[in-house]
Amino acid sequence: MTATIERTTANSIVPAAETIREKAARYVFAGLRIALGWIFLWAFVDKLFGLGQATPEKNAWLNGGSPTKGFLAFGVAGPFEGFYHGIAGAAWADWLFMLGLLGIGVALILGIGTRIAAVTGALLLVMMWTAVLPPENNPVVDDHLIYAGLLAGLVLVNAGHTLGLGRAWERLPIVARFPWLR
């Protein structure tokens, strides 16, 4: 976030000093970015090693388990059930899912590639939301949609710049040339 109020001098426009509220907001959004990144990264680590949170050790990906089969084969309900049952346990789906969790988590924690992380993360979250329509605790909205909205907000406020490597990332020649990599 940058200060929106500017003062004009004789020859230039100088950004106004950041207010306490703006600084606090930057740190709140940076904290939310890191926390959401940890949610994605933890899901990856738990499914990879079977740490017993959502994935028992016997079902760990490293032990031959499928990160997508259990939930997509048995936990899905609603109008997209056939689609998700069809991809449950497919090697390509396992790899895409795990690489997505890892990439989104690392990008958010480091504050780099937040646009890509937000788009792919929102897509993954909306797909997870459609896997259990209607949601269990609310007829329309659940945490997947809230997280997807938060991802969009993180990009809009440049949350990777605070407590992250976003500014340095954006100075890389490839990122400067292809701004969608921001």
Query: Whole-angstrom Cα distance, residue 179 to residue 158?
Result: 13
pLDDT computed for residue 137 by the predictor: 86
pLDDT computed for residue 11 by the predictor: 63
CA dihedral 181, 127, 122, 60 (to 10 degrees): -80
Cβ distance 3 to 21 under 8 Å?
no
pLDDT tens digit string along 38-66? 999 999 999 999 999 999 999 999 999 99
pLDDT tens digit string along 111-128? 999 999 999 999 999 999
Name the β-bridge partners of 6.
15
Question: DSSP state, 142?
Answer: -
Query: Whole-angstrom Cα distance, residue 116 to residue 41?
Result: 16
Does residue 10 have a pLDDT over 70?
Answer: no
Nearest to 61 by CA among 23, 32, 102: 102
pLDDT computed for residue 16 by the predictor: 80
